[in-house]
Each structure stands twice: as C-alpha cells, then as structure tokens.
Structure 1
Amino acid sequence: MRSSYCPTLYRLFEFFNQFYDSLLYERYVGSKDQRLQLRNLTSTLIGRFIKAAEVVSPEEVRIGEDEQTTVILLKQIFREFIIKSPPLIAQQHGQKNILRSLYEAIYSESKGTYPTFLPVKLRYLWEIAEENVARFTADCVASLTEKEVVGMYGRLYGTSDSSVLDPIVR
C-alpha cells in the first residue's frame, strides 16, 4: 500500500497491521485472542476519537481529518461486513414476518373488544386508544420486548415449545 496515495488510509492499515493482525488476516471466530484484540481496538479508537475532539464553541465540535477519514472507513467496513451480512439480513427478514403476523393477529381480534389472548398488562392501551384499532395494535406490538414478541408469536402460531403456564409478558 503506497503512503502517497492516501496517507490516512496507509496509517490506519499500519495501525491495524501492527496491533490487530488477527482481526485483519484471520476469519473472525470469536477466539479469546480475537475478542481481546477487538475489545482493545474498540477502547483505543474511542480514546483516540475523544482526544481528537476539539470544542470550538458550545454548538461546534471539530475533529481532525485523519479521524474523520477513519470514521468513514469504519462505517464502510461495518456496513459491508455487518449490515449486509446474509445471517443478519435473514434474521431481519424473519423478524419482519413475525412482527407483521403478530400485528395482523392482534388487529383482527381487536374489532370491538380487547383480544383475550393479550396479557392484562396491555389492557390500558385499549382504554387510551379510543377505538382506534390500528393505533392500539401498533402500541401493543411496540410495548413488547423482542423476547415477548417471539414468545407471543410462538403461542399464537403453534411454534412455541414452552409450557402454557409460562407467562410470555411479565
């Protein structure tokens, strides 16, 4: 890599190469060494960005060109290797389907009365929705944690292997 092409990129590459080589050259499998290097890298970069910030005024903070370039590169790496990763895309696809199905189930059972399969904890949403079924349904789904959404979906669609005595929503 030539330093005259992009000095910031070259320095960033050298930094990674010197201290975090297993993150660069090995497939990430979560080994103890990789986790340690990742934790150290995160700490180092956070410290670097904090030290690089210069408060110009209460409304303005300035950081150097090297740090700006580093942030841009890290965002691109994150987008390519995390956001666009097939496992994450597949999981998000499944989550959308679960949310859509749960919304439709609650909506269809909410015509004129509070759905009997919903926990008592959500009843107050029915009272404040003032017969706006779409609003009530959206508020119900938004009030649940991810674990509660998956549990409720499993119960409604028969994919849960938990006991009917186990509460979904606490």
Structure 2
Amino acid sequence: MTDHDGYDEGARERLVEEPPKRVDAPIRTPFERDRARVVHAAASRRLAAKTQVVGPQSDDFVRNRLTHSLEVAQVARDLSRALGSQPDIAETAALAHDLGHPPFGHNGERVLARLGEACGGFEGNAQTLRLITRLEAKTFDASGASVGLNLTRATLDACTKYPWPHGAADGPQGVHADGSPRTAVKFGVYADDRPVFDWLRRGAVGTRQCVEAQVMDLADDVAYSVHDIEDGIVAGRVDLTAIEPAAVWETVRDWYLPAASDDALDATLSGLRTVGSWPTTPYDGSRRSLGALKNLTSDLIGRFCGAVQHATYAASDGPFVRYAADLVVPEATRLEIAVLKGIAAHYVMRTDDRVALMHRQRELLAELVAVLLDRGPDALDRPFADDWHAAVDEPARLRVVIDQVASLTDASAVTWHQRLC
C-alpha cells in the first residue's frame, strides 16, 4: 500500500524501528503484520475463556470474548473495505478491542475499577492499550523495556476506543444490573502509559477517534446487539414474539439512552419488526428455527452497516482514512442497536440468578486482589513478579496486582482463588 492511499510513513511507523524481513519471508504490509501479531498473542487465546455475557463454561453455543472478537473483526473488515479504508487496520483493532477485559467481563471490570483507585483506576480499553504496548512480550527498546507487540501508529490509534485519560473522562451514567449506580468512567490510557499514548496520537485533534477506530466501535456495537440477542434466544431467556416494552424501555434508558422516549422506542421496535426474518413464532430449537435465527442476525447486521455506509458516503467524499473523514451513524440505526442491546440486558443480564452470580464473582476478585497484595511476588507469575520488584511505591505494586488479575481467565481466577484464599 502506498502513501496516496492515505497511510503515510507516520501511519506505518513503529515505536521501535524493526529491521527488514528476510528476503525469503512472505511479503506483507505493515498492517498485515500487525494483524498477525494480535492473532498470535497469548492474550488473544485467553479470550476464549473469558465471559462475554453468559459464562463460557455454561454452554458450548454461547459466545465468549474470543468468538465475539472474531465476529466484530468480520463486521469491521467488511465495513472498512466498503469505505475504501485499510481493512487490516480495522480488523486488527476489532481483534484487539477486548484484550484488556478481566475475568467475568464488565462485572470484573467494575470491581477492579474500585479496587484500583489508588493507582489510577481500571478500564478495559486502557488495559488493552497497556497490554499491546507493554505487557504482551515481543519487542524491547534500547533500554530493555518492553514495548509490547510494537504495532504501527495507525493500528494502535485504531485500537483506542476512548482517546483520553481518566481525568478527562465524562462522569459515570446509568446503573448496573443490580440497580446500583455506575461509578466507573470510560477512558483509554493510564498515567504511566501516557508516553506511548501521546506518541500514537500524534496528528490527532483533541479526543477525536480516527475513522478506523470509529469502524471498530460501531462493529462492536453491532455484534454486541445482534449476537447477544441470538445467545439469549437459544438460551431460552429471550422471546422476540413476547417483548414487554415498558420494562425493556426502562433498561434501555438506565443502560444506554437516558433521554429516549417511549414513543421513539416503540417506533423503533415497530421498525425492527418489519425486517423480513423477524420471528413470528417462538424459537423451538429445531434446525429450521436455528436457520431462521441466523438469517435474522445476518439481516440485522446488513441493515445496520448498510445504513451507516450510505449515510457516511452522503456526508463526505472521503477518503475514509485516519482523520480525513468520520463515520456517520443515523439516529434510527443508533436507536435500533440500543433497543436490541436493551432487550438482551433486560432478559439476560438483569435476571435474579445472574445478579447473584455477579455478586459472588466480585467477591472472588476482591479477595484475590487482597491476597496477592499481601503475598507479593511469590504468588505472581514471573513477568508480574519482575514488575513488582521494579515498582517504586504502593500504587505501582497495586497496578502490578491489577495487571496480574486482569490477565486471568474466568476459570483461572477461580483456580487461583481456591489455591490462595
């Protein structure tokens, strides 16, 4: 790919310059190499055992963080290609977007954010940046410090969903599944990762996402909304023929769109019901029902991405690369995605059995953090034990423990808790 495609040498630059590949090695663009590095990262493999919505051990059909990431990547790649931007960048960002998630998904994120206040908090997207630029071992700088996967500037920028530090984040909004108010904020970089963040954001204006990050962000929302509904239907928790609008709209406002009116949400649901594959009879587990459900997910993804592509082309002539243009999400599409996410949230994530399980998960992680802080390096994996010895104060050691716990899968967090607590 050449500079006239919108990706100049600055976009291809890596934090540590790398020597040319062997002459007999396959010829790949820098962005193709970025994608391969994320695919082969240990953190990517761990996603297979991390919760998406329902725990990965509960059923072999439901999605885990890895299968979700693969589906986000497919949506992001197709939309990026349709817009004429570099599909490897958007796909890599999608593959990486959940690498920083701790055990038990957003529930684990919630407890680590509270426990990590003394060292600057915890946020899954900030942890992703930390992981791919520091914790995932591949490349080291002249001082011997790890620079993680040493991805290109354009790819790292596309991975940055929230391009601002903790102090610049908006206040928390909405409530958790148990009805308690949210207290954590969304941000993309911890204080001690600021140098690499400033390097990758060179050329950006304020907190604007590059268009490849916008594609990744939308693909995440699309996959989340559609596939969580699919999982909920197959699990017997969601019946699209028997939605209770009043209760669901309360969840939509609590979790996603505080200002949405009943009339707007009613009209949005009516519009979704006009999709030809929207079910008219309850799901019964047959192959015909499974096929119909797959057609629905395909139709909804096509509906959302088609609307965004059309609106984006109507708003700009492009090119749709880096900061030359923005993705345009129509208000109707934004509402449709929020309605689907609200249905899944209400019927799956707010159920009494799930709320009780989430409480036990938070207790487990809190106890694990406490015992690791007490035991110190003897209880940590070698890379984190080394980080502990290099830490200069208590907040730095707390960050090491948070890094260790965030790296665990759901199952390994339980195993560590059983062994240490």
Scaled by the length of structure 2, the TM-score of the pair is 0.30
Using CA pairs below 8 Å that are at least 6 residues apart, which structure has the higher relative contact order?
A: 2
Matched, 1:129 2:395: no
Aligned position for 1:147: 411
Distance 1:127 1:148 in 2: 24
Distance 1:36 1:121 in 2: 46
Query: Which one has the largest radius of gyration?
Result: 1
Q: Cα offset for 1:103?
A: 0.6
Which of the numbers 349, 367, 374 marks the counterpart of 1:101? 367
Distance 1:7 1:106 in 2: 51
Tell me if structure 2 keeps the 8 A contact 1:8–1:69: yes
Q: Cα offset for 1:64?
A: 6.0
Within-5 A mapping of 1:35-114: 35-53=290-308, 54-55=311-312, 56-57=315-316, 58-63=325-330, 65=332, 67-110=333-376, 114=377
Q: Cα offset for 1:39?
A: 2.5
Tell me if structure 2 keeps the 8 A contact 1:125–1:139: no
* Residue identity opposite 2:330 in structure 1: I
* Residue identity opposite 1:148 in structure 2: S
Tell me if structure 1 keeps the 8 A contact 2:272–2:336: yes
Distance 1:36 1:128 in 2: 55
Distance 2:392 2:290 in 1: 51
Q: Where is the helix percentage greater, Structure 1 or Structure 2?
A: 1
| Structure 1 consecutive aligned stretches of length 4 or more whose deviation exceeds 4 Å | 5-8, 29-34
Distance 2:300 2:405 in 1: 37
Tell me if structure 2 keeps the 8 A contact 1:12–1:70: yes
Unaligned 5+ residue runs, structure 2? 1-262, 317-324
Q: 1:12 to 1:137 in 2, by over 3 A?
A: closer
Q: Where is the strand percentage greater, Structure 1 or Structure 2?
A: 1
Aligned position for 1:163: none
Tell me if structure 1 keeps the 8 A contact 2:272–2:278: no
CA deviation digits over 1:24-82, x for unaligned, max 9? x35xx7654444333222111000111111111312514263x3442232132122112
Q: What is the DSSP-based 3-state SS (H/G/I as helix, E as strand, rest coil) of the residue aligned with 1:135? A: helix
Distance 2:400 2:331 in 1: 48
Unaligned 5+ residue runs, structure 1? 158-170
Q: Work out the number of aligned pairs and report it.
A: 143
Over the matched positions of the two proteins, sequence identity in percent amounts to: 27
Q: 1:126 to 1:34 in 2, by over 3 A?
A: farther
Distance 2:348 2:385 in 1: 38
Aligned position for 1:20: 279
